[in-house]
Structure 1
Amino acid sequence: MRFRDDRRAAALQVGAILLLGFLVIGLALYQSTVVPDQNKRVEFDHNQQVQGSLQDVRNGILRTASAERTSPTAVPLGTRYPTRIVAVNPPPSSGSLRTEPGGKVSIVNATAVDGETADFWNGSNRSYATQRLSYRPDYSLYQNAPRTAYADTVLYNGFDDDRNRAVTDQQLLSGNLIYVVALNGSYSRSGTQAATISPSPVSASDRTVAVNGSDIEIKVTTDLSESEWERLLADQYESNGGRIDGNADGVTVYPSNETLVVDLVSNRTYRLRMAKVGVGTGVTDTTEQYLTVVDGADSVTAGGTRRIVLEVRDGYNNPVSGVPVEAAVDGEGSIRPTTGASDGQGRVVYEYGAPDSLSSARDDSINFSFKRPVDRPDFSGEEPESVRINVTVVPLGNVGDIPGGTTYVYPDEFDDAVDGNEAFENSDVPPDDPAGDIDDFENMQAANGQTASLTTSGSDLNVGTVTRNVGSTSTYELDIGYESNKAGKVDVRIVDDDDTVLQTIPLTDFNDGPVTLNGAATDEVSNTGTLYVRYERTGPGGDSVTVDVDYQRLVVG
């Protein structure tokens, strides 16, 4: 018997080989095309996540600069790829986050409005070293990933072709506010895990110092191009209501030294706000740079005392604690203590005591310094570390020796519902529940033609002042110079330290000159040496009220 050839088994083997070949080719194509595309997407998404985390770091630095509490921020330095059963992934990607030299920030030609502060801010060039915080990824596939860096309030992406682009806005200049935040310290982390960064305040505050000048400039070492800074600063051009002189012509980047120069409109007043923030290790403290007056003394009656408050500040205009400050009187009065130390707010409180008896008015000079001898004959108080206060001592009851025959005593401190840490502000001054704002309080402390603005908060006004060290006499007159088209809606109240009303005077009564204090108010001032004055809106609420006060003074004698 003959059998036919059976070729079916061979056909199955060929089919299996072909199928295996297709699988191998498919896996190869998957490994060479799909896996790289998916992993590149993973790297891109990770880079976006890092940029978001670095925006949080940037915001944390700025909050720390304002003395706000911040939380640590985690930055994922690297990423892992999805688990694959048959395909092969590269090792996890990594990255590095570290500080790098960032150059400096300079303020040029700025002079402080306050005379004592102007001993330091005297128009010279003030420069502050700063760091740059930079993240550099090491991806397997996303080869054009940017370097992301923070410097001078801006987070930006840097590319190999120098096409650096800002990710956030800038806060270096906003209206009349110049904001300098210097970064200090050494930080370096690398790998695949998350790195935690915690900004710490070295010199932080939300205070500002008023400065002006004819040619104020801001100079910043920068990686960004001129066109990018023009884009960031466009809303600060003078034509847009800002303070950059010449619009785009006032924004220049010099490539030779990578320096941005911003020219500001001349002869305007600017608010200078500065801070130093630390990251990592090697953070350096600031040191005392100048001494300024918070509460001074212009005149004191014989035998009276006057409170004097000074403040020790660093180069960022923020308080420095624990600094010894010596004091001495060039005259017949006394000063206590002769050596004081600045407290947590950088302040040192003294008490000047006037001589008991005088035949005529005389001047005493009080010298203060944290560096120079205060009893030397050539002491001028013109150095940044020194202050000299001249006090006129008035014979009690002998007003004829004062020009015009009148003794004026001006308010020392105030309390309103805004800010809470302005110069001369004291929350212990009545009222207990203030409403409204006293702006430019210093202008109430002398008849100089410049006004303090008393404005309502919503529809309420209830703000207060205190005048201390008032000489004892039998008659007092309160004199207020003001302008307001709604003065009929405001009362002036004389109160005691418990906020009990002793006398109410309509503000319009001061149109005819000083108003004599009644018996209750006179007894309180004479016995305590203190005058509390409240400005309070009367009648129903509604529209706002503004009172521009040139001076508030007590006529003694």
Structure 2
Amino acid sequence: MLREDDRAQSLQIGAILLFGILIIGLSIFQTVVVPQENGRVEFNGYAETTEDLVTFRNDILTAGTQGGQQAESLKTGVRYPPRAVLINPGPPVGSVGTTPAENVTISGVVAVSGEPRNVQGVWNTSERGAQNYSTRSLVFTPAYNEITVPSVELSGDGAYRLTGNGPLALTERRAIVGNTITLVTVDGDLRTGSLTSSVAASPASVATRSVTVTGDRGADFTVTLPVPGNDTEAAAQAWNDSAAATTLDRNPNVVSREVNGSRVDVTLDGSRTYTLRLARVVVHDKADSGVDTDTDPQYLVPLTSNGTEVATSGSRDVTVEVRDRYNNPLGGVDVDFTANGGDIDGSSTVTTDADGTATVAFNISDGTDTANVTAEIVDEGVAPYNSTTIAVIRQGAGGDDGGDGGGINPAGGNDLVLQSATLVDSNGNPTQNDNKIDAVWLSFKNFDSSREKNITRAKLSFYSVDAQSGSRDPSPDSATLGLVGSGSTVSLNTGGDFENTSYVFSPSQTRTFEMEFYENTNAGGSEFTPQRGDFYVLNVFIDIDGDGTGDASATYFIAPR
């Protein structure tokens, strides 16, 4: 009897068992190992994207402070390595987009008196109110399959990882460092999501100018900043409690920081001065060539000083600069020039160049000692700061009259020379604080080493307030003139007659006079506060031979500083 042969069945069973083990192994690899390996790929991709975002944040700063378009390629998704048998999920793709606009707010500041008059007018927040500058952030929102990681948010102020325990700073803060305030605002409507996103930062207003500011009347002032997060008070509180915010406490100029709605108020010591720089940058898809980076003109500043001399034959260039609301020069803006006491060579309407400047050639009229050239932005800007007037003077003989002290701004070998015109407070201390200025001190020196000189008559011929500040009084109607410490003064009406005086200078002597100004004639009414940028003309007669009569006349064009 033959026995059955079951060896084939054993082979089949073994094969089935091996196949089952293989399937189980592949299943374990698919469900455990593949996710782990893909998770590592995703984490590495997230780390790389974070580095790219930090680099792009620096690009935003570069575009805003140095100019030039900056671009980066952001790895907003990842590809998994190919697998022969096992299956990968589809490549995860995150997104990059701008947040809704919020305001950076500056309140309680004024420009110091050393700034041009229109700058002072624009940066007088007690008169014009707080200044708001719209800005956005750029947020990378990851969408990985295997790992859960926080979003990354960047702005002109910094880059942050938005963790559950509050924002974690990835860069140093740049908005307030020491006594420098640099606010790079971000604009643009960017939405992109792909494995790789090419983004660019294009400058709209480059911070090539700065303004020196301080607290209004020395009081503390506030810079209110948007913070990373979800535009809520809770997000603001989380940021204010974070290590990034506490770094502000190491700045001795920072008085306090407090949550204000979805933003944070940073209060600064208003008794100190600060350098304020503003910029605007537009973020966009690099392939987008139709980005609007235009800004509007705001105000004018003179680049030609009051008191500039114009030759009696020939012309003199007069130049102004147009600035936008970020205080930076703006090209392509039409400026109208008008003149009083002379005429303009060529067209009176000039378009600003790439540096924001407009220039005309001015000819002074025969017989005119003082002329005015007024520039105004055509149909744009913020009145009255979109206009400025520059007082120019006819070039005189100086001191080339034999050294007897005559002429315009005499400066010859034996002249009576005006050496300085200084804005001082009530104690005679030099000051640039408009709220403390009390008078102008004039220092004259008799450069004649052998003869006395005596100012026998004086006249205040002209006074020009530099800029049409709506919040400032018109030119003064009178002034008093006297030697410092003497207690005796003479009243001079603006544009009035000569008044008798007796101010004797010994040979080589220097004497200092004080001039105080008044709104009404004969030193009446309220006191008028002179400021840097103002300009006035003082005429005198000088006795040289000691007979008490004026032997020579002199005209001093004075721009107090």
Q: Which band: TM-score by shorter chain?
A: 0.5 to 0.7
**What is aligned with 1:531?**
none
Deviation at 1:221, TM superposition (A): 2.2
**What is aligned with 1:499?**
none
- SS of 2:33's partner is helix
**What is aligned with 1:140?**
145
**What is aligned with 1:297?**
306
**What is aligned with 1:21?**
20
1:147-546 equivalent positions in 2, closer than 5 A: 147-159=151-163, 161=164, 163-192=166-195, 194-213=196-215, 214-224=219-229, 225-226=236-237, 228-229=239-240, 231-237=243-249, 240-245=250-255, 250-254=256-260, 257-280=261-284, 283-298=292-307, 300=309, 303=312, 306-330=316-340, 332-336=341-345, 338-357=348-367, 363-371=370-378, 383-391=384-392, 396=397, 407-408=408-409
**What is aligned with 2:515?**
none
Change in Cα spacing, 1:227 to 1:392, as seen in structure 2 (3 Å) is: farther
**What is aligned with 1:457?**
none
* CA distance, structure 1, for counterparts of residue 276 and residue 373 of structure 2: 29
Deviation at 1:63, TM superposition (A): 0.8
8 Å Cα contact 1:132-1:149 kept in structure 2: yes
* CA distance, structure 2, for counterparts of residue 445 and residue 231 of structure 1: 51
Change in Cα spacing, 1:372 to 1:63, as seen in structure 2 (3 Å) is: closer
* CA distance, structure 2, for counterparts of residue 44 and residue 301 of structure 1: 70
* CA distance, structure 1, for counterparts of residue 359 and residue 420 of structure 2: 20
Residues 22-73 of structure 1: per-residue CA shift (max 9 Å, x gap): 2222111111111111111111111111111111211111111123445421
**What is aligned with 1:40?**
39
Deviation at 1:282, TM superposition (A): 5.0
Q: Please, which runs of 5 or more residues in structure 1 have no aligned partner?
A: 374-380, 411-443, 452-474, 477-511, 515-552
Change in Cα spacing, 1:391 to 1:32, as seen in structure 2 (3 Å) is: same
* CA distance, structure 1, for counterparts of residue 344 and residue 361 of structure 2: 6
Supply the RMSD in Å over aligned alpha carbons: 3.6
* CA distance, structure 1, for counterparts of residue 398 and residue 70 of structure 2: 61
Residues 231-283 of structure 1: per-residue CA shift (max 9 Å, x gap): 3354443xx454211xxxx12233xx311211111122111111111222553
User: What amino acid does structure 1 have at the position aligned with 2:334?
Assistant: P
Deviation at 1:398, TM superposition (A): 8.4
Residues 121-175 of structure 1: per-residue CA shift (max 9 Å, x gap): 1223111112221221221121x2222221232111224x473322222111111
Q: Does 1:120 align with 2:122?
A: yes
* CA distance, structure 2, for counterparts of residue 259 and residue 406 of structure 1: 61
Q: Please, which runs of 5 or more residues in structure 2 have no aligned partner?
A: 230-235, 285-289, 412-418, 424-428, 432-446, 449-507, 511-556
Deviation at 1:18, TM superposition (A): 2.4
User: What amino acid does structure 2 have at the position aligned with 1:220?
Assistant: L
* CA distance, structure 2, for counterparts of residue 206 and residue 350 of structure 1: 24
User: What amino acid does structure 1 have at the position aligned with 2:356?
Assistant: G
* CA distance, structure 1, for counterparts of residue 365 and residue 399 of structure 2: 15
Residues 336-359 of structure 1: per-residue CA shift (max 9 Å, x gap): 45332211111112344444336x
* CA distance, structure 1, for counterparts of residue 86 and residue 15 of structure 2: 22
Residues 185-214 of structure 1: per-residue CA shift (max 9 Å, x gap): 22222123x111121111113331211223
* CA distance, structure 1, for counterparts of residue 326 and residue 52 of structure 2: 28
Change in Cα spacing, 1:36 to 1:398, as seen in structure 2 (3 Å) is: closer
8 Å Cα contact 2:108-2:221 kept in structure 1: yes
* CA distance, structure 1, for counterparts of residue 87 and residue 379 of structure 2: 73
Change in Cα spacing, 1:4 to 1:288, as seen in structure 2 (3 Å) is: same
- SS of 1:317's partner is coil
**What is aligned with 2:538?**
none
**What is aligned with 2:496?**
none
* CA distance, structure 2, for counterparts of residue 279 and residue 301 of structure 1: 47
- SS of 1:101's partner is coil
User: What amino acid does structure 2 have at the position aligned with 1:189?
Assistant: T
Change in Cα spacing, 1:350 to 1:513, as seen in structure 2 (3 Å) is: farther
